[in-house]
Amino acid sequence: MNSFAILKVALRALGRNKLRSALTMLGIIIGVGAVIAMVSIGQGAQAMIEQQINSMGSNVLYVMPGNITTGGASLGQGAANTLTDEDVEAMRREIPTIAAASPVVRSQTQMVFGNQNWFVRIEGTNEFFPELRNWTVDQGTFFTEGDVLSAARVVVLGRTVAERLFPGLDPIGQTIRVRNLAFRVVGVLAEKGQSMVGQDQDDTAVMPYTTVQKKLLGQVIPSVNQAMVSAVSQEATVVVQRQINELLRQRHKIGPGETDDFSVRNMSDVAAASQQMTTIMTLLLGSIAAISLIVGGIGIMNIMLVSVTERTREIGIRMAVGARPSYIRLQFLAESLVLSLTGGLIGVVIGGSLAAAISGVLGFPTLVSALSITVSFAFATCIGIFFGYYPAHKAAALDPIEALRYE
Amino acid sequence: MIETVPQQHGEQPVKPADGDTIIRVERVYKTYRMGDIEVHALRGASLMVNRGEFVAIMGPSGSGKSTMMNIIGCLDRPTKGQYFLEGEDVSVFGKAELADIRNKRVGFVFQSFNLVPRTSALENVELPLLYAGVSSKERVRRAREALATVGLSDREKNMPNQLSGGQQQRVAIARSLVNNPSIILADEPTGALDTRTSVEVMEIFQRLNRERNLTIIIVTHEHDISQYAGRVVQFRDGRIRRDEPVEDRKDAAEVLANMPSSEDDDE
Ligand SMILES: Nc1ncnc2c1ncn2[C@@H]1O[C@H](COP(=O)(O)OP(=O)(O)O)[C@@H](O)[C@H]1O
Ligand SMILES: [Mg+2]
């Protein structure tokens, strides 16, 4: 008995019940398709995040007030008011390996132009924003150091905000109203698209941080939400991080053994944290899909058991003319393998198309990797063997006389 | 040439064979357990058959004929006793070894034909060769040859349900002889056939017995059919009660020639 002959007999048997074979395969098709689609979404998200982090520049560091225990993924604002713009200024002045630094002060507010109005996230920074965020101005100019020093009422709009407030108009030089104050639009940022969490990054506006502190938040004691710092090179980030630590501990008069009232993280920390997040997401999606693959496997087992019972007499005949039990076992295993492998193959194609459709419709990137194809295909094979083994064993264990007598 | 073996009684030992003994069953018991009840299908039956013999087994229903055939055909194993096939004690063989014997050394023909449904005549005949590991080309060649032997060359593509009972039984005979076994066992091969078709089947058996020196054992209820064999063995209550040669053996070819041919039959 060669494997080709076994395959031929298996194909013949499956061909006799085409609809049933197709329905059985459907379970595996859906399972493998779901695994491929889900994992490719997860891996696509991961690739996008990596790319975004790289575009931000790997030599950027963030300083946050308050202590955030290391390893936590949160990038949220610190609770305490322990970071000031003087701290940021001191870092820039005293640490030579820092290329640029800016305080970040966040707020949100209504912006009005004519009869258009829009609720906007505001980011207050200094003139280094384009360099730090690797984000250029598309129209007009960015605000200047002078604007920051004088807390000028100028604003640079994100693309979305510009389109909302000035449909069909050139926003540069126009005056918008923010909390009844007049702000001059000096520039519009280049379009950036969605963020890693699906947020529209262009739905934002940038102002001098001093303006946000004084005009929008009305702070008496100015405070900043965080500081953005860039090192002169990626290699320098470690040194910069240590020097920021020393400088701030000294400025905040933190004695040896006392905990920091700030924290510094570099982009590789951020990358690691988001990597971890997307890996968890990928695993979660993948395992939900894998469950449907197992359900498909149970479908195969069910049909194979029915098939063994239905073909008891045929098994008896085959045994009577000299088929060894091991051959009967192989034949039924071959049938469940053909079902699961064909299902797996179709599932890969469908899952791949599904992933492509998702990225097409939702604008969400997907990545069908060779790994996910190999793994789900291997998984389908294992399912075929695992769930096909018991029915095949049952067939092989039949007694020829009893099988022949079976009605 | 008909060899006769003296009449055997259940518990008596078998006399040593004076020819080329191919089958030697010695005081074989087969007990089936159905719940609490024990059914004794065979109670110490002994039988010896020489190579080239044509034996008919007769006896009332339930006397153990099929059980005996299944043991001789290695489809079943005795509860007690020994069975020597061509000098080998096969009562101790495992499942795979028994399968190999059924594949190469014994051909089995059943009352209900037992062809694989929705599979052509040719492929049904090929089956034993498939399990013997014969190449596809050689399988087809030998299966065609076997079908020709039973006169069914023109029906090789037919499915079993496109064949008459007689034709199906001939396909089954072709299948039983395709792997060149030394023994063909047929359990009531004519039980489901009409008279003419029965004689046609007996003609094939007589021809195979005469031309190829195949050892043939058939079970039959009909006295007429038993007269085509060279020796008749009578079963009762799981033992052999009588064992005697056929006095005036019939020739199936001759009988067929004198029969009016029927319209509704095979060809
Ligand atoms: N698988 C079985 N289980 C239980 N009893 C059986 C089985 N096979 C045969 N028998 C019993 O054994 C006896 C002999 O059966 P069998 O050899 O088929 O008789 P025959 O072929 O002479 O009619 C019968 O009483 C029958 O009911
Ligand atoms: Mg019987």
For β-strands A262-266 and A204-208, DSSP reports them as: unpaired
pLDDT of residue B152: 95
Confidence class of residue B245 from pLDDT cuts 50, 70 and 90?
very high
State ipTM. 0.90
Whose atoms come closest to the Cα of B31: which ligand? 1
Residue A219: what pLDDT?
A: 84
Q: Which residues of A touch B (CB under 8 A)?
A: 1-2, 5, 9, 12, 16, 313-314, 316-327, 400-401, 404
Chain A positions in Cβ-Cβ contact with residue B131 (cut-off 8 Å): 1, 318, 321-324, 327
Higher-pLDDT residue of A70 and B105 is B105
Sheet holding B215-219, edge to edge: B106-109, B183-187, B215-219, B54-58, B231-236, B239-245
Q: How confident is the model at residue A4 (pLDDT cuts 50, 70, 90)?
A: confident
Angle between helices B121-131 and A312-320 (to 10 degrees): 60
Give which of A51, A50, A38, A85 is closest to A65, Cα–Cα. Answer: A85
| Listed range (A334-338, A380-384, B22-26) with the worst mean pLDDT | A380-384
Neighbours of ion ligand 2 (CB under 5 A): B 66
Mean pLDDT of A205-234: 89
Rounded mean pLDDT of B57-61?
96
pLDDT band at A78 (very low <50, low <70, confident <90, very high): very low
* pLDDT (0 to 100) of residue A192: 83
pLDDT exceeds cutoff 70 at B266? no
Q: How far is CA B151 from CA A251, A254, A334, B129, B199, in A?
A: 109, 107, 36, 20, 14
State yes or no: pLDDT of A293 exceeds 90. Answer: no
Q: Give me the domain span that covers residue B101.
A: 52-65+95-258
Residue A141's pLDDT is: 93
- Is B16's pLDDT higher than 50? no
Confidence of residue A203 (pLDDT cuts 50, 70, 90): very high
Tell me which residue has its CA closest to atom 13 in ligand 1: B41
Question: How high is the pLDDT of residue B262?
Answer: 61
Distances from the Cα of A117 to the Cα of A164, A182, B79, angstroms: 8, 14, 96
pLDDT digits (tens, 9 = 90+) for A165-174: 999 889 999 9
**Average predicted confidence (pLDDT) for chain A:** 87
pLDDT of residue A67: 58
Beta bridge partners of A122: A107, A205
pLDDT at B9: 46
B180 inside 8 A of chain A by CB: no
Q: Is B139 within a domain?
A: yes
Q: Is the pLDDT of residue B4 over 80?
A: no
Residue B166: inside a domain: yes
Mean pLDDT over the full length of chain B? 91
B39 C-alpha to center of ligand 1: Å? 8
Q: Pull the structure tokens for residue A301.
A: 């087992």
- List, as own/partner pairs, every contact residues A130-136 make where C-beta atoms lie below 8 angstroms and the sequence separation is at least 24, other chains included: A131/A99, A131/A100, A131/A230, A132/A57, A132/A60, A132/A100, A132/A101, A132/A102, A132/A228, A132/A229, A132/A230, A133/A56, A133/A228, A134/A55, A134/A56, A134/A57, A135/A189, A135/A190, A135/A192, A136/A189, A136/A190
Residue B10 has pLDDT above 70, yes or no: no
- pLDDT the model gives residue A390: 95
Q: Nearest residue CA, atom 4 of ligand 1?
A: B32
Distance from CA of B81 to the nearest CA of A (A): 19
Residue pointed to by tokens 């087809």 = B140
What is the A212 CA–ligand 2 centroid distance (Å)?
A: 102
Split at pLDDT 50, 70, 90, the class of B218 is very high
Region of poorest pLDDT, from A237-246, A280-289, B110-119, B239-248 = A280-289
Q: Does A136 score more than 50 pLDDT?
A: yes
**Count of structural domains, chain B:** 1
B32 belongs to a structural domain: no
Per residue in A230-261, pLDDT tens? 888 878 888 898 999 899 888 888 888 888 88
- The residue of chain A with its CA nearest to that of B117 is A314
A224 alpha-carbon distance from chain centroid: 29
Residues in chain B closer than 8 A to A401 (CB atoms): 70, 75-76
The enclosing domain of B189 has a CATH number of 3.40.50.300
Which residue's CA lies nearest to atom 5 of ligand 1? B32
pLDDT band at A182 (very low <50, low <70, confident <90, very high): very high
Position B253 in a domain: yes
Is a pLDDT exceeding 90 seen at residue B185?
Answer: yes
> Would you say residue A205 has pLDDT above 80?
yes
pLDDT of residue A281: 84
In a domain, B58, yes or no: yes
Task: Give a yes or no: residue B36 inside a domain.
Answer: no
Of A316, A321, A400, the CB nearest to B131: A321
User: In what helix (H) or strand (E) does residue A9 lie, and over which residues does it extend?
Assistant: helix A3-16
B137 located within any domain: yes
Residue B146 domain-assigned (yes or no): yes
The answer to whether the pTM exceeds 0.80 is: no
Sign of CA dihedral A350, A352, A358, A361: negative
| pLDDT on residue A71 | 42
Confidence of residue A196 (pLDDT cuts 50, 70, 90): low
Task: Please name the residue whose Cα sits nearest to atom 12 of ligand 1.
Answer: B41
> Across the A/B interface, how many CB contacts are shorter than 8 Å?
64
Judge whether residue A79 has pLDDT over 60: no
pLDDT of residue A73: 42
pLDDT of residue A197: 61
Tell me the pLDDT band of A75, cut-offs 50, 70 and 90.
very low
Chain B CB contacts of A327 below 8 Å: 131
Summarize pLDDT for B94-130 with one digit per residue, the tens: 999 999 999 999 999 999 999 999 999 999 999 999 9
At residue A58 the predicted structure's pLDDT band, cuts being 50, 70 and 90, is: low
